[in-house]
Structure 1
Amino acid sequence: MSYIAVFAQGNGVEMADELRSSGKIYVVVTIIVIIFVGLALYLFSIDRRLKKIEKEK
């Protein structure tokens, strides 16, 4: 079990290190946050419309 933990810690993600060193990781995180916020707003608007339709029936 300890071998697996040591092996996992030694294996770095090169792409993440490169993005972090160049400062582009913030751009990636910002885009992901914008996408999630957009999806959440879309789902809330659909929920509101469905509740309105259910009340009409």
Structure 2
Amino acid sequence: MKKVLFSLILMLASVQLFAQDNSIEMADRLRENGKIYVVVICVTIILIGLLLYLFSLDRRLKKIEKEKSI
């Protein structure tokens, strides 16, 4: 069963590789217009926000765990 699942995953990954030709044109157009930098900045801001949220959540959980253990 594992071999069948692994083979299916590999076949799906190879199909995904053929679909990348269309996305290159879009990336080229974004790069030509200078809009790719806006996309990169937006993704970076979102990732930084998620990381800050996770770190603050971790600190709160550690504080609650310390209070429970006392």
TM-score normalised to the size of structure 1? 0.79
Could you tell me which runs of 5 or more consecutive residues in structure 2 were left unpaired when the two chains were aligned: 1-17
Q: Which of 25, 34, 47 in structure 1 is aligned with 2:36?
A: 25
- 1:50 has 2:67 as partner: no
Alignment RMSD (CA, Å): 1.1
Q: Which of 10, 16, 34 in structure 1 is aligned with 2:27?
A: 16
Equivalenced residue count is 48
Could you list the structure 1 runs, at least 4 aligned residues long, displaced by more than 6 angstroms after superposition: none
Could you tell me which runs of 5 or more consecutive residues in structure 1 were left unpaired when the two chains were aligned: 1-7
Q: Which of 33, 40, 52 in structure 2 is aligned with 1:41?
A: 52
Which amino acid letter does the alignment assign opposite residue 63 of structure 2? K
**Richer in helix (by share):** 2
SS of the aligned residue for 1:21 comes to helix
Question: Which residue in the other structure is 1:5 paired with?
Answer: none
